[in-house]
Chain A
Amino acid sequence: MVLRVTRLPHALAARVLVLALLLGAPGGARAAEAKARMPSLAQLQTELSSGDEARVMRALTLLGKRKQAGSVGVLTAFVQAGQPDALADRAVAALGELASPLALPALTELVRHRRPEARIAALSAVAVLPGEAPLGLLVAGLRDSDPVVRGASARLLGERGDRSAIDVLFLALERGVPEAAPALGLLGDAAAVTRLHGFLGRVALQTMLPGYERLLARADLDEAVKLEIVARLGEVAVVTVKRFLERELAAGVAARSPRLAHALRETAKRIEERPTPGGAAAP
Chain B
Amino acid sequence: MIAQLAELGHRRALLACAALLACSGGPPALDARHAIGESTRGAATVSARLAAAPPDAPVPLGLVATTASSSPPELVRIALAPTPSVRWRRRLSADARPELLGDAVVVPSAGKLLVLDDATGQTRFELALPGALYLGAARHGATLAVVVREAADGKQPPRSHVLAFDAHTGARRFRHDSDAELGRPAARAGMLFLPWQRQGLIVLDLQTGRELSFLRSQDDVIDFVSADDDDVWFGHRTLYALSRGYDGTRATAQALGPAGERLPGRPAAFDSAFSARPAVPSAHGRIALHFDPERGPSGAAPSALADRVYFVFYRYVFAFDGAGVLRWARSLPHDVITARALRSGLLAVSDDGSLAALAAADGAVSALGGVGLPLAAASLVGSAGLAPPPSPAAVPADAPSLRLGLLEVALDIDQRLVPARALATTALAALPDPEATRDLLELYARSTTPPELSRVVADALRTRRTGLEHAVDALLARYDFLEQTRPAPLAVLAPALVEAGERRAVPRLLERMLDHETPLAVLPSVVRAVVELGDTSVAPPLLAFVRLYRNDSSFSEAPDALIEAARGVLRHGGAAAPAQLAALTSDGRARPELTSALATLLAPQAGGPPSEAVAVAAPPATPPLPRTLSRADVRATFQTHEAELRACLQAELERDPKLTQLRVSFVAEADGSAHAFQITPASAPLGDCLYPKLAGYRFARFSGGRRVVRHTLALTRPADPAQALRVESDAEAPWWSRAAKTLRKADPLSSPWWQSALPIAPLVTRERPPAAASTPPASSTPSASSTPPADDTWWVPTTPNPKP
Binding site for B on A (CB under 8 A): 1-2, 51, 79-85, 88, 109, 112-115, 118-119, 142-146, 150, 168, 171-172, 175-176
Whether the Cβ atoms of B483 and A82 lie closer than 8 Å is no
Q: How distant is A85 from chain B, measured CB to nearest CB, in Å? A: 5
In the complex, B396 has a CB within 8 A of chain A: no
Beyond the given A83-B589, A114-B520, A145-B691, could you list 5 further A-B residue pairs with CB under 8 A, ordered by the A residue number?
A: A80-B547, A82-B589, A114-B549, A143-B482, A145-B517
Binding site for A on B (CB under 8 A): 479-484, 514-517, 520, 544, 547-555, 584, 588-591, 685, 688, 691-692
Write out the residue numbers on chain A whose beta carbons fall within 8 Å of the beta carbon of B551: 1, 82-84
Write out the residue numbers on chain B whose beta carbons fall within 8 Å of the beta carbon of A146: 692
Write out the residue numbers on chain A whose beta carbons fall within 8 Å of the beta carbon of B591: 1
Whether the Cβ atoms of B584 and A109 lie closer than 8 Å is no
Write out the residue numbers on chain B whose beta carbons fall within 8 Å of the beta carbon of A172: 482
Q: List 9 A-B contacts (CB under 8 A).
A: A82-B548, A83-B551, A84-B551, A84-B552, A88-B552, A114-B554, A144-B481, A175-B481, A176-B685
Q: How distant is A232 from chain B, measured CB to nearest CB, in Å? A: 24
Q: Report the bound CA distance from A81 to B585 in whole Å.
A: 11
Q: B481 touches which one: A2, A115, A143 (CB < 8 A)?
A: A143
Known: A1-B589, A144-B481. A112 touches B515 (CB 8 A): yes
Whether the Cβ atoms of A150 and B589 lie closer than 8 Å is no
Whether the Cβ atoms of B552 and A85 lie closer than 8 Å is yes
Whether the Cβ atoms of A115 and B552 lie closer than 8 Å is yes
Q: A115 touches which one: B544, B553, B590 (CB < 8 A)?
A: B553
Known: A1-B588, A80-B544, A82-B589. A145 touches B552 (CB 8 A): no
Q: How distant is B490 from chain A, measured CB to nearest CB, in Å? A: 14
With both beta carbons as reference points, the residue of chain A lying nearest to B544 in the complex is identified as A80
With both beta carbons as reference points, the residue of chain B lying nearest to A140 in the complex is identified as B480
Write out the residue numbers on chain B whose beta carbons fall within 8 Å of the beta carbon of A113: 516
Whether the Cβ atoms of A112 and B514 lie closer than 8 Å is yes
Q: How distant is A218 from chain B, measured CB to nearest CB, in Å? A: 26
Write out the residue numbers on chain B whose beta carbons fall within 8 Å of the beta carbon of A79: 548
Q: Report the bound CA distance from A79 to B547 in whole Å.
A: 10
State the main secondary structure of chain B at its contact with A: loop
With both beta carbons as reference points, the residue of chain A lying nearest to B479 in the complex is identified as A145
Write out the residue numbers on chain B whose beta carbons fall within 8 Å of the beta carbon of A1: 551, 588-591
Whether the Cβ atoms of A82 and B515 lie closer than 8 Å is no
Write out the residue numbers on chain A whose beta carbons fall within 8 Å of the beta carbon of B516: 112-114, 119
Known: A82-B547, A114-B554. A145 touches B481 (CB 8 A): yes
Write out the residue numbers on chain B whose beta carbons fall within 8 Å of the beta carbon of A175: 481-482, 484, 688
Q: Report the bound CA distance from A143 to B482 in whole Å.
A: 5
Q: How distant is A255 from chain B, measured CB to nearest CB, in Å? A: 38
Q: Report the bound CA distance from A248 to B264 in whole Å.
A: 68
Q: Report the bound CA distance from A176 to B555 in whole Å.
A: 30
Whether the Cβ atoms of B553 and A85 lie closer than 8 Å is yes
Whether the Cβ atoms of A142 and B514 lie closer than 8 Å is no
With both beta carbons as reference points, the residue of chain A lying nearest to B519 in the complex is identified as A145
With both beta carbons as reference points, the residue of chain A lying nearest to B695 in the complex is identified as A145
Closest 3 CB pairs of A and B: A145-B692, A114-B554, A82-B550
With both beta carbons as reference points, the residue of chain B lying nearest to A119 in the complex is identified as B516
Q: Report the bound CA distance from A80 to B547 in whole Å.
A: 7
Whether the Cβ atoms of B588 and A109 lie closer than 8 Å is no
Q: Report the bound CA distance from A171 to B685 in whole Å.
A: 14
Q: B548 touches which one: A80, A119, A144 (CB < 8 A)?
A: A80
Q: How distant is A30 from chain B, measured CB to nearest CB, in Å? A: 37
Q: How distant is A186 from chain B, measured CB to nearest CB, in Å? A: 20
Q: How distant is B562 from chain A, measured CB to nearest CB, in Å? A: 10
Whether the Cβ atoms of A109 and B550 lie closer than 8 Å is no
Q: Report the bound CA distance from A112 to B544 in whole Å.
A: 14
Write out the residue numbers on chain A whose beta carbons fall within 8 Å of the beta carbon of B589: 1, 81-83
Q: Report the bound CA distance from A150 to B551 in whole Å.
A: 25
With both beta carbons as reference points, the residue of chain B lying nearest to A81 in the complex is identified as B547
Q: Report the bound CA distance from A146 to B688 in whole Å.
A: 10
Q: How distant is A117 from chain B, measured CB to nearest CB, in Å? A: 9
Q: Report the bound CA distance from A144 to B480 in whole Å.
A: 7
Write out the residue numbers on chain A whose beta carbons fall within 8 Å of the beta carbon of B515: 112
Whether the Cβ atoms of A143 and B480 lie closer than 8 Å is yes
Write out the residue numbers on chain B whose beta carbons fall within 8 Å of the beta carbon of A81: 547, 589
Write out the residue numbers on chain B whose beta carbons fall within 8 Å of the beta carbon of A150: 481
Q: Report the bound CA distance from A233 to B723 in whole Å.
A: 33
Q: How distant is B335 from chain A, measured CB to nearest CB, in Å? A: 39
Write out the residue numbers on chain B whose beta carbons fall within 8 Å of the beta carbon of A82: 547-552, 584, 589-590
Whether the Cβ atoms of B481 and A142 lie closer than 8 Å is yes
Q: Report the bound CA distance from A175 to B688 in whole Å.
A: 9
Q: Report the bound CA distance from A145 to B544 in whole Å.
A: 24
Write out the residue numbers on chain B whose beta carbons fall within 8 Å of the beta carbon of A2: 588
